[in-house]
Amino acid sequence: MQTFLNLIDSYHLTYFNWFLAFLGAFLLGVGKAGIKGIGVVIVTLMALVFGGKSSTGTLIPMMVFADIMAVIYYHRHTQWKYLSKLMPTMVIGVLVGVWLGNDISDEVFKSIMAILILGIVVLMILMDRRKSTEIPNNRLFSNSMGLLSGFTSMIGNLAGSFSNIYFLAMRLPKNEFIGTAAWLFFIINVFKLPFHMFAWKTISTQSISINIILAPAIIIGFYTGIKLVKLIDNQLYRKFIIIVTAAGALLILFK
């Protein structure tokens, strides 16, 4: 017990930093329950507390924990055909992220990512206004979204924006959207764990001790998120995801 407390003390966090960390963990639970698009807020909060790269290692075990809850709750809604289209290039994107992770500039990465997200969101809005029912079902679209999701997932745990766009473009209903995303991120986050442990060395006994402390906030956030999702109908959910995805891109660009 004393060793555990010593590990916690070694972070030298203020009460305000602990508040931000618990808020980030709570929002992570809310997001994994289906309130998508808030990933950039979670990543920003964790980066403020633990630092940029270190925060990715602190966050990834928490994400896997929340993914497990999401998979258990939403598994019956998973649409495997969409998952199978996105997963192969997403894995490639993660590997590219591992390779380039130590070399790419944070500023360049954030700018390119934000511009891409905003551009695609604008196209989605135009499609909705034209009442277009056409689904971009070609391999180029799914491969591009998979590659970008995997790369941004490894670099900054920010794949949600591109996967959101893909599932919206496929016009998945609310529960199918959440259930498919749950399995997607569970698989990809487990795949990322060894790279954080052995390549980047961002996961340690110290970071795991923080994960254990923050776990209750994730659980509370998850069940709060379930309640919120039930209050939102399919059409409103679609509009909500588009708005928060665009807002997240702006936050990435200007933070």
pLDDT tens, N- to C-terminus, the chain (255 residues): 556 566 566 667 888 999 999 999 999 999 999 998 788 788 878 888 887 777 888 999 999 999 999 999 999 999 999 999 999 999 999 999 888 766 766 677 667 667 776 777 776 677 667 655 566 667 888 899 899 888 888 877 677 778 888 888 888 999 999 999 999 999 999 999 998 898 888 898 888 989 999 999 999 999 999 999 999 888 888 788 888 877 777 776 776
Question: What is the rounded distance in angstroms from the CA atom of residue 191 to the CA atom of residue 98?
Answer: 12
- Position 74 scores a pLDDT of 96
Question: Please, what is the Cα angle at 138 between 132 and 139, to 5 degrees?
Answer: 150
Number of H helices, E strands in the chain: 11, 0
Question: What is the rounded distance in angstroms from the CA atom of residue 103 to the CA atom of residue 152?
Answer: 14
Per the confidence metrics, is the pTM higher than 0.85?
A: no
User: Residues near 53 by Cβ (< 8 Å), separated by ≥ 6?
Assistant: 200, 202
What are the structure tokens assigned to 59, written together?
């966050």
- Position 1 scores a pLDDT of 57
Element (H, E) at 70: helix 52-74
- Position 245 scores a pLDDT of 75
- Position 254 scores a pLDDT of 73
- Position 24 scores a pLDDT of 94
